[in-house]
Amino acid sequence: MQMTERPSRPPVHIRAVGRALPANFVDQESLTAALREAWGGVHFNPERLEELHRSVQVEGRYVALPLWAYRELTTFARRNEAWIRAAVDLGEMAIRDALGQAGLSPADVDHIVFVTTTGVATPSIDARLVNRLGFRREIRRTPLFGLGCVGGAAGLARASDLLAAVPGQVAVVLSVELCSLTLQLADLSIANIIASGLFGDGAAAVVLTGEGRDPGGSGSGPAIAATGSAFYPDTERVMGWDVVDSGFKVVLSAQVPELVRQNVRDDVDEFLAMSGHDRASIRHWVAHTGGPKVLQAFESALELPEAALARSWKSLKEVGNLSSASVLFVLADLLASGEPAEGDLGLLMAMGPGFCSELVLLQW
């Protein structure tokens, strides 16, 4: 597989990562019980539901609405209206958190890259946030839809490209995913049952600055040293949505862990070699929380030490898979730990619909 890498360019720095979670937290046992009740009259094997929910190793998740409200989401229109309301609120919270950490204001932002896969809006959510947050009228907006779990990494890469082209500016990458609002109660497929136990809701925002930009705040995160992309041909049905009358119906193949296992080692080795590095050079690994089998595939294929993906496992356990936001939540945990030292290298990696991977090399 040929890895396409961005050419050498001026440095772009990550200044802060903000996060936001809905107010409604539901432990996995309660959510499983609610779904068992909803499906009890039609599901051929309720015990299988509990088994699959236990297997994803998620202990609880935050969801956009109280559980009782989901029964009222009987049409795509109702689901999407709820998604827009929650996405704007969570997006605002995440951006304010990130800008506050970076010591910047909305007036300082030149670009906003908005990433989602769980709802649609025109004007897009970023436009609504321009009005709510008071961004400058000159702000440049780039909404990205349909990248799924790979979207957070892709958003970082695309924003860094923008800032490398025009040094001295500020970009915000915002990911908002409200996976609970896509749940199809009429879909009794194994894929939907697994998704009902795995995916959660949340938002993350990353502030990046280009070369020559005074960050203004007290802290500074890593530079984005390189980015890479790899697309796997003829894998469109591995992951994604089928759009049906009631909304987004999940496509989730059992092939995903095997695709990770087959491809990620060569992709990572080739990508790192382009910058004169190898896996032994990487001190910090930031992987999206695709589920236990995906994390195990990362570990085995890359021959990682036991603790390398500890933050990804912890995030999966505590909030579930947040689709595109998941890898940014793990990045936020790494930055908050204070563990990285000057000169350290990190690799942020995610995979998603296409099927494809995105890799981001971080340097402190």
Annotated catalytic residues are 149
Burial 171-199 (b: 16+ CB within 10 A, else e): bbbbbbbbbbbbbbbebeeeebbbbbbbb
Q: Which sign, positive or negative, has the C-alpha torsion 63, 64, 69, 75?
A: negative
| Peptide bond between residue 123 and the one before it cis (omega within 30 degrees of 0) | yes
Place of tokens 């059992």: 254
Judge contact between 113 and 227, C-beta under 8 A.
no
Residue 118 is encoded by which pair of tokens?
């769980």
Q: In sequence order, what are the residues at sequence separation of 6 or more whose Cβ sits closer than 8 angstroms to the Cβ of residue 163?
A: 12, 111, 169, 170, 171, 208, 209, 210, 211
Q: How many CB atoms lie within 10 A of CB 223?
A: 18
For residue 347, the cross-strand partners are 285, 361
Q: Where are the beta strands (DSSP E) in the chain?
A: 4-5, 12-20, 24-27, 60-63, 111-116, 140-145, 170-178, 201-210, 223-231, 239-244, 247-252, 284-287, 345-352, 356-363
Q: Residue with structure tokens 């990205």?
A: 144
Crossing angle of the two packed helices 28-39 and 46-55, in degrees rounded to 10: 150
Say whether the peptide bond before residue 329 is cis (omega within 30 degrees of 0): no
Write out the H or E segment, with its range, that includes residue 81.
helix 76-102
Helix, strand, coil shares of the chain, percent, nearest 5, are 45, 25, 30
